[in-house]
């Protein structure tokens, strides 16, 4: 199976330091700081990248679940909202909210919702994050 890679460099202390996160082959490189993670500073943060990974994985899992059920989606668009809270012992990701909209010809609402829930449970990133509450709002749209 494929092994995916990413890297990060951090220089300095927590509040005044700065870092860079990278995906291989120059596909993405972004700065991050204390402010970009815990305040409203410029740059990205680990939670945003985790959210992008989860949204992408879920969208693919839903597309696959729909295909196995006999439906071909025209489009699946997913956003992930990651909540980072102060918890006992520091900070922790306490909730992930997935919001998806899918254009799927010929499917009824009940079947769509069933497949969306199955995709949430079957998505590899959802499985990896099983210790966190994952909420799903799935909307069937027509274009």
Do residues 14 and 22 make contact, with C-beta atoms less than 8 angstroms apart? no
* 109-122 and 46-68 helices, crossing angle to 10°: 130
Can you tell me the distance from the alpha carbon of 29 to that of 7, in angstroms, rounded to the nearest whole number? 10
Mean pLDDT of 56-81: 97
User: Cα separation of 30 and 23, whole Å?
Assistant: 9
Residue 128 has pLDDT above 70, yes or no: yes
pLDDT higher than 70, residue 143: no
Closest CA to 99 of 74, 64, 45, 135: 135
Mean pLDDT across 20-32 = 91
> Rounded to whole angstroms, how far apart are CA atoms 108 and 74?
15
Q: Could you tell me where in the chain the CATH 3.30.300.20 domains are found?
A: 46-141
Q: Enter the pTM of the model.
A: 0.92
102 within 8 A of 75, measured Cβ to Cβ: yes
Model confidence over 83-101: pLDDT tens digits? 999 999 999 999 999 999 9
For domain 46-141, give the fold: GMP Synthetase; Chain A, domain 3 (3.30.300)
């Amino acid at each position: 199976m494929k092994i995916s890679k990413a890297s990060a460099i951090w220089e300095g202390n927590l509040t005044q330091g700065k870092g860079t996160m990278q995906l291989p082959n120059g596909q993405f490189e972004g700065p991050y700081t204390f402010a970009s993670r815990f305040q409203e500073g410029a740059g990205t943060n680990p939670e945003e990248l985790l959210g992008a990974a989860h949204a992408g994985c879920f969208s693919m899992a839903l597309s696959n679940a729909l295909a196995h059920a006999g439906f071909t989606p025209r489009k699946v668009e997913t956003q992930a909202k990651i909540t980072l809270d102060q918890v006992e012992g520091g900070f922790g990701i306490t909730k992930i909210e997935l919001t998806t909209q899918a254009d799927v010809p010929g499917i009824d609402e009940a079947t769509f919702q069933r497949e969306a829930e199955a995709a949430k449970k079957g998505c590899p990133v959802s499985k990896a994050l099983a210790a966190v509450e994952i909420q799903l709002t799935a909307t069937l749209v027509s274009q």
